[in-house]
């Protein structure tokens, strides 16, 4: 079974430029998450989708960040314009609410963003 796939793995951009990250969750997983991980810190939730609906985006800085999950499968996270403080790893995760599932999150390898 394929895991969560993210791209790009690495991205270096100048400040004020736009950037986008893409995530393909595990097949059949209805819940998709975007987490921000700063260096030396634990993941922090940015947004959670149930199918195509964003059910928790309270931590998403909406002035510059946007996300979408069309058709309830793949998702993109966009930053425009990027700031120096956005340098971090952006992790995508998925999970399923099927009966018997524990709530385990399955993470991708992350997209490391460096803003110069």
Partner 1 sequence: GENVEQHPSTLSVQEGDSAVIKCTYSDSASNYFPWYKQELGKGPQLIIDIRSNVGEKKDQRIAVTLNKTAKHFSLHITETQPEDSAVYFCAASKGTGGFKTIFGAGTRLFVKA
Nearer to partner 1, 42 or 85 (CB): 42
Instruction: Establish if 5 lies at the interface with partner 1 (CB under 8 A).
Output: no
CB of 50 to partner 1, least distance (A): 6
Shortest Å distance, C-beta 84 to partner 1: 22
Site for partner 1 in 23-62 (CB under 8 A): 30-31, 40-45, 48, 50, 55-56
Smaller CB separation from partner 1, 17 or 41: 41
- Looking at residue 109, the DSSP 8-state letter turns out to be -
Angstrom distance (rounded) from CA 29 to CA 24: 10
What spatial distance separates the first Cα and last Cα of the chain, rounded to whole Å?
37
Residue 75 touches partner 1, criterion: CB under 8 A = no
**What is the C-alpha to C-alpha distance for residues 45 and 32, in angstroms, rounded to an integer?**
11
Radius of gyration, CA atoms only, the chain: 14
Does residue 114 belong to the site contacting partner 1 (CB under 8 A)? no
In the DSSP assignment, the letter for residue 85 is: G
* Dihedral sign of CA atoms 27, 77, 12, 94 in order: negative
Contact positions toward partner 1, by CB under 8 A? Answer: 4, 30-31, 40-45, 48, 50, 55-56, 91, 93, 95-98, 101-105, 107-110
């Amino acid at each position: 079974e394929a895991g969560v796939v993210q791209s790009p793995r690495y991205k270096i951009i100048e400040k004020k430029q736009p950037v986008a990250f893409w995530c393909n969750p595990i097949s059949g997983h209805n819940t998709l998450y975007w987490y921000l991980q700063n260096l030396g810190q634990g993941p922090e939730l940015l947004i959670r989708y149930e199918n195509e609906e964003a059910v928790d985006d309270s931590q998403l800085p909406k002035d510059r960040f946007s996300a979408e999950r069309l058709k309830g499968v793949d998702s993109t996270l966009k930053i425009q314009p990027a700031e120096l403080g956005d340098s971090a790893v952006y992790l995508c995760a998925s999970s399923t609410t099927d009966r018997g599932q524990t709530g385990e999150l399955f993470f991708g390898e992350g997209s490391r963003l460096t803003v110069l």
